[in-house]
Each structure stands twice: as structure tokens, then as C-alpha cells.
Amino acid sequence: MTGLVAQLTSRISFCAAHRLYREDFSEEYNRELYGPCTTDHGHNYVIEATVSGRIDPETGMVLNLVQLERFLHEEIFEHVDHRHLNRDVPFLKGVIPTAENLAVIFWQRLVGRLVPFKGARMHCLRVQEMPGSEVCYFGEA
């Protein structure tokens, strides 16, 4: 089993408040764009990071899953859990906290942590707001 490639996925959850609203848009246009999401509400977000890489024939692992979970905690959970995403998170300043934007920004925060792992790279960052809806970002094409 030399040089085989696999994907690893680690999943965490955090609780946060948010709203979708742009101050430079009218009340009506905000309503039209974001529907019921213009007012303060919240979610148990589920975040899933998938890393692609070669299985090290010596250890039988791409990357230790405990390590990947630690990156998710340090780069995401510690900054957003029990926060209001529009106000309390420095790296989200000025960003409309849609699931799409969160996916892109969380991806960017994680990607640097994988640099030391030769042959491993971010494949997908998934953001689930509710059991019935989610967004997946695969990096810049």
C-alpha cells in the first residue's frame, strides 16, 4: 500500500448567533435577499473539513484525525463558539455571515495548518446551518 491517496474528514459543532443584513441595503432589499434571516437568530453549526493526502505506508495514516480535529478547534471553534458572528469575531468583521462566506473563510484559516504535512491538502470545507441545508467549498478553481 505505497502511495495510495485517501480523504479524511473531521467534524465539529459550535453554537452561534447571526443575522444576514447589509446596512447599505434598504430594509426591503435585505428582506428580499435574505428572507427570515435578516433578524438575529442562531444555529448549532456543524463544520466538516476534508483533507486529501497520501497514506503513509509506515503509519497507515494520511494525518492523525485527532490532529485535524485540533486544527478545527484552534482555528474555528475557539473563535466562534458562543459568539455573535456579526459582532464578536475579528476575522469576520465586515463579512455577511452566510454559510458560503463562512465556508470560504474557515477554509482559508485551516489551509495554513496543513502546509507542514507534505502531500496533504484541503479538499472541502462544509458548513451545515440546519440538518436540511449545507454549503460546501472546494477552494479556488
Q: Which residues are catalytic?
A: 37, 82, 129
User: What is the nearest approach in angstroms of a copy of itself to the Cβ of residue 39?
Assistant: 6
Residue with Cβ nearer a copy of itself (27 or 140) = 140
User: What is the nearest approach in angstroms of a copy of itself to the Cβ of residue 82?
Assistant: 4
Q: What's 55's DSSP letter?
A: P
**For residues 51-110, which are near a copy of itself according to CB under 8 A?**
55, 59-62, 64-66, 68-69, 81-84, 87-88, 95-101, 103-104
Q: How far apart are CA 41 and CA 19, in angstroms?
A: 6
Contact 135, 125 (CB under 8 A): no
Q: How far apart are CA 36 and CA 111, in angstroms?
A: 33
User: What is the nearest approach in angstroms of a copy of itself to the Cβ of residue 111?
Assistant: 14
Hey, CA dihedral for 27, 32, 34, 35, is it positive or negative?
A: positive
Exposure string for 88-127, b = 16+ CB within 10 A, e = fewer:
ebeebeeebbbbebbbbbbbebbbebbeebeebebebbbb
- Of 31, 33, 73, 89, the one binding a copy of itself (CB under 8 A) is 33
| 133 contributes a contact to a copy of itself by CB under 8 A | yes
Using CB under 8 A, list all residues that contact a copy of itself. 1, 4-13, 15-18, 20, 33-37, 39-44, 50, 55, 59-62, 64-66, 68-69, 81-84, 87-88, 95-101, 103-104, 129-138, 140-141
